[in-house]
Structure 1
């Protein structure tokens, strides 16, 4: 299904139907929604965030937000493409605020010259992870965070310094002012507990 830059009533209805299925956790509908709307939403993002690399990242953030917020879509209050474009604008503006570069003019208008849908699709980096992959990554990250919370404070600190900051065991020991053997024990036991927790989480999801 192709959605033009000015969706017809029939296309809007199909988008609304896809959103209702996405709200129920239907991943096939989510993939179809991405194919149907990503070209237009990428154009919306580019009008606000002119950095193409940043815009591609924002587009992925948009669809993660759509997955999480689909249950909040109300067809009686807004057309589906209008609702999607609003999320895209907000994520693009958030991206600008995060950037450390020189201030740029932000335009939230959907106006301007229309660009062919296929040209828009050509600008999307197909090597980047798709929305379904991002959802999997987000789920894994949440699982790791949940399991990390079950570790002792010492284990969390040791693992964070070792794996998130890339410190050696000796550097971790120096940072925490603890014997090297103690730090190695915290890391080893923390990894064992983390592995067991993640395996249990995977078994529950399966």
Structure 2
């Protein structure tokens, strides 16, 4: 685990214990990346700012749900953010986003059956990821789990942007074929 990931994991653990200074540090460390995710999905700065606030409320209340053995802290934060922004986008499109409706939402935590299914699917995906060339598997993780852009990845691997796009597209096709029944 990298130093940054260890730091985020430590902050999430402390946030789960209701440590306000850890929450502030987590916000300072993670909010720029999480805001970028919100903005890229919602395409509206004001909506993205509101979504980011709501994401951090979810993080405050749900930090105890972070499972370091299932995902990296950055991946967990990115997933919480992406899912919230997508939910908000859907609600905005349907015109039904109200605070009253938010009070009636069920607990977003997975039930035991969902946890077992997710764990099983995770093992299947990991098995298929092992079939990819190591650098391409890492690129797929960085792009679709950690949220790095194609441009960031092309610079990281010192390849042209279109080459990186081809790597990711071919890797996804290979993963789809592996995961198909």
Q: Deviations over 1:127-169 (max 9, x none)?
A: xxxxxxxxxxxxxxxxxxxxxxxxxxxxxxxxxxxxxxxxxxx
Q: Name the larger-Rg structure.
A: 1
Report the counterpart of residue 69 of structure 2 in structure 1.
76
TM-score scaled to structure 2, two decimals?
0.52
Alignment of 1:4-43 (within 5 A): 9-43=2-36
Alignment partner of 2:90 out of 70, 74, 97: 97
TM-score scaled to structure 1, two decimals?
0.46
Task: Report how many aligned residue pairs link the two structures.
Answer: 102
Alignment of 1:153-172 (within 5 A): none
CA distance in 2, matches of 1:100, 1:93: 11
Report the counterpart of residue 87 of structure 1 in structure 2.
80
Alignment of 1:112-123 (within 5 A): 112-114=150-152
Q: Which runs of 4+ in 1 moved over 2 A?
A: 108-114
Alignment partner of 1:62 out of 51, 55, 58: 55
SS at structure 2 position matched to 1:99:
helix
Unaligned runs of 5+ in 2: 96-142, 153-181
Report the counterpart of residue 176 of structure 2 in structure 1.
none
Q: Which has the higher helix share?
A: 2
Unaligned runs of 5+ in 1: 1-7, 103-107, 115-206
